[in-house]
Amino acid sequence: LPLDDIMAPSFKGDGTEDPAKLLHDIELHVVLNPTEEVKLNCFRLCLESGSYAQRWYNDLPAAEKDTFEHLVTAFRKKWLEKEKGELQEELLSLVLRPEDVGVPNEDGMLGHVRWAVKVAGLAARIEDDGSLIPQALKNIPVLLSRYLGSNCATWPDLVQKMKKVPSTVTESFLASYYDDEAAATIFRWHNRPIPQLPELFYLSSFLEMPLPKDQKIPIPDKHLDKLVVRDYVCTEDDVRLLFRGGGGFNRLAPFYFTILSATPDANTEAGFISFWDKNIRELLDILLPDGRCSRSSQGTKTAAFRPDFAFIYRNMCLFRGEEKPPLSLDDPKAKLADKLPEPWPYRDAPYVLGYHAKGPILTLAAIHPTENGRTTVTDLARYDLRRRRDRIRHMVALINAEPLFRGLADLASAVDPELTEIESYTCIIEILGPVQTRMKHLQKMYAYLEEKKVPHTDAMLHFIPENDKVILQPRGDARGPKTVDELLDAVICVLEMLEVLHKPPTVIHRDLRWPNIMNSLKNRREWFVIDWTDPVEAPARAANKRDFNPRTHCPALYLDNHGTEVDLWSVGELMLTSKVREITPQLTRLGRSLKEKLTATEALQQIRNFRSSLQDTGDSAQQDASSVLTGVKRKAREDCEESVATKRVNQ
C-alpha cells in the first residue's frame, strides 16, 4: 500500500486522545505492507504538526526511533506507562476555566467537553470506577457543577452529560460571568493574538505601549481620584494609563491596592519580599493563571542555587528575578545571567524576560544570548516603585508582556520541566522515609566519598533538621550532552568516578541515569554524579523493583550478589539514551570488537583511546563517535546478561 494512500490518524499528545488506539490504528493502516519504513513513516505522519507529540518525537534520540520496535517502546514509556499516582495527580489538577465554557477550540470541541474528555481519559488509565468524580467536579465553575448535579456515576456518564449541556445554559453562564466587567477585561487580555516578537531594540517601546481602552482596568469613578497625588507626582493622566471609569474592579483589585500600598521601611531582603510579590507575583497570577511562581529559600545557604524569583510557564522559566535589599553591594543584574546555564537553553526564543531589584528600585530586563554564546542582560525600563506613577507604568508593561510569554513559550518548546528539584538548578533535596536512618546513611556516604577522594561527585554542605533537607554543592545543569564531545566528557567523568568508587571496599551507585549526571555551571567539560541515597557495598542484596524502575536499570540489580556490573551497564545505558545522534556502522563495528569483560578502568581506557583517535583523524572520526559508545553499551549489557544468567543458575 503506497504511503500516499494511508489515511493516518492524528495524534497531538494533549490528553484528549487514547495513545493505545494510535498504535492499534497504525497496525491496521500498514497491514498490507508492514515494512519497517512504512511503519516508521506512518507513525511520523500521525503526529500533528506543531503539537506536543511532534516536539517529543523530534527531540527523541536517534537510537530510540531507528526501528519501529524502539519507537513503540519509547512511545509507551512516554504516553502509556506513567505511574498511577502521577496520573491521578494530573487528573485532579485539571481545571476548567470559566472563560473556556462553551468556547470551541481549533478542532471544534467545546472547552467544557474537552475538559471532560481529558479527565475521563486519565481516569481510564488508572482504572478509576468513578470515585474521583466528586473531586474532579470541584475544578469546574460552580454554576456548571450545579447543573450537572450528582448523577454522574461513571466517567462516560460525565462526558455524555457535558456533551449534552444545552447552549442556552452555557450562554447564560457566560453572560453572568462576563457581566463582571473586570472578568471581561481579563478575557480580552488572555485572548489577544500572539504578536510577532519585537526585536530587542524595540522591546522597551513595546512594553510601554498605551493599552486600548477596553483592556484598561475598570474601576468605580469615585476611586480614580484616590490614586491622584498632587504636585504632578501622579496625575489623572498617569492613572488613566491603566484604569478606566465605569465599573467595579472585582478580581482586578490587587492592581488597585498595590498602587496604594506603602513602601517597606526596611533594609533587609526579607523585609521586601512581600512588596516585590505584590508588584510581580500577584499580578502574574492574574495575567497568566496557567503559570506558577516559585521563590528560592531566602537564606545565604540556598540563594545561590536558583533565581530569587522564577515564573514557570509551560515548563519553562520565561521570567526570572534577582533581588537585593536597598544597601546591598551585590549586583542583582549580574546574577540574572550567571544563574542561566550555557549554551542558551531556550532554543529559538531570542530572549526571555526578567527583572533585577534593589529595594524599591526595579528594572525590567531582557536576558539573551550573544554571538559568542555567552548570556547577557539588557535593561528595558527602570521603575522607582516608591512612586505611584512608576507602579502604574510597571503594571502596564506586565500587561503588555502577557502575549509575549505565550509567543516565547512556542519558540522555546521545552519538553522537560525547568527548575525541578535537584534535576536542574537547585542543590536541595528532601529526605523521605525514615529520616534518621536515611540521614545517617547519606552522611556516611558523603564522608566515605570525601575520605576515598572519589572524583566528579557533589558534596554535602549542610543538613537542615527543621525541615529534613540537605544542601549540596556544586550547582549543576541536567540538560544532558548534546554533542559527541560533551558525551565523551560526561562518560569519562563518570568512569573516572567509578574507577575509584569500585576499588575495595567496593561501593556501587546503582542509579546512574541522566537526571543524576549534572554538568558543572563553572566548567562545561566537568560532569558530576549526584543522588547518593541508594549506594551500597558490593556484593549487594537484590533491589526492590518498587525502588528502581526495571525499564531503566540493569536486570542483575534485582538478584542477590550483584556488583559493579550494574554500574557499568548503566554507563552503557547513558550512552544509549543520550541525545547525541551521530551513529555510524564503522564505530558500531569498533564497539563489537570489545571482547574482554569490562571494568571501569578498561572502559575508561577504550574511551580515552577513541578520543585520541578523534584528535588524530579530525572531523570524519568525530562523526563516528557515538557508535563506539554504543559498542561499549552493548558489551556492558552482554556482561550484565551473562552475570544475570549465572546468578539465576546459582540461585
Q: CATH number of the domain at 599, please.
A: 1.10.510
pLDDT category at 12 given cuts 50, 70, 90 is confident
Least confident piece of the model among 312-316, 337-341, 555-559: 337-341
pLDDT category at 275 given cuts 50, 70, 90 is very high
Least confident piece of the model among 292-296, 421-425, 470-474, 540-544: 421-425
Check whether residue 91 and residue 66 sit in a common domain: no
The packing angle between helices 84-93 and 111-125, to 10°, is 160
Other beta carbons within 10 angstroms of residue 415's beta carbon come to 12
Question: Which grid coordinates belong to 480?
Answer: 544532558
| φ/ψ bin of 228: left (φ > 0), alpha (ψ from -120 to 50), beta (otherwise) | beta
Check whether residue 231 and residue 344 sit in a common domain: yes
Q: Which of 29-33, 316-320, 344-348, 352-356 holds the top average pLDDT?
A: 352-356
Check whether residue 116 and residue 222 sit in a common domain: no
Q: What is the pLDDT of residue 468?
A: 54
Q: What is the pLDDT of residue 300?
A: 30
Residue 64 forms part of a structural domain: yes
What value does the mean pLDDT take over residues 297-326?
A: 73
Which of 184, 191, 353 has its CA nearest to residue 280? 353
Q: What is the pLDDT of residue 595?
A: 34
pLDDT category at 593 given cuts 50, 70, 90 is very low
**Of 60, 81, 102, which one is at a domain's C-terminal end?**
81
Q: Find the Cα–Cα–Cα–Cα dihedral 139, 140, 142, 146, rounded to 10°.
A: -110
Check whether residue 162 and residue 17 sit in a common domain: no
State yes or no: cis peptide before 539, omega within 30 of 0: yes
Flag whether pLDDT at 582 surpasses 80: no
Q: What is the pLDDT of residue 390?
A: 96
- Radius of gyration of the chain from its Cα atoms, rounded to whole angstroms: 28
What value does the mean pLDDT take over residues 157-163?
A: 90
The packing angle between helices 585-592 and 625-650, to 10°, is 30
Residues 6 or more apart in contact with residue 356 via CB below 8 angstroms: 321, 322, 323, 332, 333, 335, 336, 362, 363, 365, 377
Question: Which grid coordinates belong to 24?
Answer: 492499534
DSSP designation for 56 = H
Least confident piece of the model among 351-355, 382-386, 468-472, 525-529: 468-472
Check whether residue 520 and residue 619 sit in a common domain: yes
Residue 193 forms part of a structural domain: no
pLDDT category at 6 given cuts 50, 70, 90 is very low
Flag whether pLDDT at 435 surpasses 80: no
End-to-end CA distance of the chain: 51
Check whether residue 77 and residue 154 sit in a common domain: no
Least confident piece of the model among 280-294, 342-356, 586-600: 586-600
Flag whether pLDDT at 306 surpasses 60: yes
Check whether residue 562 and residue 639 sit in a common domain: yes
pLDDT category at 475 given cuts 50, 70, 90 is confident
- Cα atoms in the 13 Å half-sphere on the side-chain side of 351: 24
For the chain, what percent of residues have pLDDT higher than 90?
23
pLDDT category at 404 given cuts 50, 70, 90 is very high
What value does the mean pLDDT take over residues 470-488?
A: 80
What value does the mean pLDDT take over residues 173-201?
A: 78
Flag whether pLDDT at 460 surpasses 50: yes
What value does the mean pLDDT take over residues 64-86?
A: 80
Check whether residue 74 and residue 92 sit in a common domain: no
Give the span between the Cα atoms of 570 and 587, in whole angstroms.
20
The packing angle between helices 625-650 and 484-501, to 10°, is 30
Number of domains the chain is built from: 4
pTM value > 0.85: no
Which of 350, 351, 355 has its CA nearest to residue 332? 355
Check whether residue 348 and residue 401 sit in a common domain: yes
Residue 426 forms part of a structural domain: no
Residue 184 forms part of a structural domain: no
Residue 507 forms part of a structural domain: yes
Q: Is the dihedral of CA 608, 494, 74, 117 positive or negative?
A: negative
Give the span between the Cα atoms of 441 and 445, in whole angstroms.
6
Q: Please provide the average confidence, as pLDDT, over all residues in the chain.
A: 79
Residue 420 forms part of a structural domain: no
Give the span between the Cα atoms of 276 and 293, in whole angstroms.
12
Buried b (16+ CB within 10 A) or exposed e, 43-76: bebbbbeeebbbbbbeebbebbbeebebbbebbe
Least confident piece of the model among 167-181, 270-284, 361-375, 613-627: 613-627
SS3 letters for 460-493?
EEEEECCCCEEEEECCEECCCCCCHHHHHHHHHH
Flag whether pLDDT at 166 surpasses 90: no
Q: What is the pLDDT of residue 627?
A: 55
Check whether residue 349 and residue 204 sit in a common domain: yes
Residue pair 483/580 in contact by the 8 Å Cβ criterion: yes
Residue-number span of the structural domain to which 151 is assigned: 85-179
* 467 vs 12, higher pLDDT: 12
What value does the mean pLDDT take over residues 94-102?
A: 79
pLDDT category at 215 given cuts 50, 70, 90 is very high
Flag whether pLDDT at 350 surpasses 80: yes
Q: Looking at the DSSP assignment, which residues form a beta bridge with residue 477?
A: 519
Q: What is the pLDDT of residue 5?
A: 43
Residue 367 forms part of a structural domain: yes
Flag whether pLDDT at 550 surpasses 50: yes
Flag whether pLDDT at 324 surpasses 60: yes
Check whether residue 175 and residue 220 sit in a common domain: no
Q: How far is CA 134 from the centre of its chain?
A: 30
* 195 vs 205, higher pLDDT: 205
Q: What is the pLDDT of residue 427?
A: 47
Question: Which grid coordinates belong to 293?
Answer: 511562581
Q: Which of 173-187, 378-392, 595-609, 634-648 holds the top average pLDDT?
A: 378-392
Q: Which of 356-370, 455-469, 555-569 holds the top average pLDDT?
A: 356-370
* 637 vs 579, higher pLDDT: 579
* 96 vs 619, higher pLDDT: 96
Give the span between the Cα atoms of 84 and 522, in whole angstroms.
39
What value does the mean pLDDT take over residues 236-249?
A: 85
**Of 148, 179, 210, which one is at a domain's C-terminal end?**
179
Residue pair 121/133 in contact by the 8 Å Cβ criterion: no
Residue pair 83/136 in contact by the 8 Å Cβ criterion: no
Q: Which amino acid is it at 204?
A: S
Q: What is the pLDDT of residue 283?
A: 93
Check whether residue 103 and residue 66 sit in a common domain: no
**Of 28, 59, 81, which one is at a domain's C-terminal end?**
81
Least confident piece of the model among 212-216, 269-273, 617-621: 617-621
User: Residue holding cell 477596553?
Assistant: 214
Q: What is the pLDDT of residue 437?
A: 61
DSSP designation for 212 = P
Q: What is the pLDDT of residue 153?
A: 82
* 396 vs 282, higher pLDDT: 396
Residues 6 or more apart in contact with residue 635 via CB below 8 angstroms: 572, 591, 594, 595, 598
Residue 221 forms part of a structural domain: yes
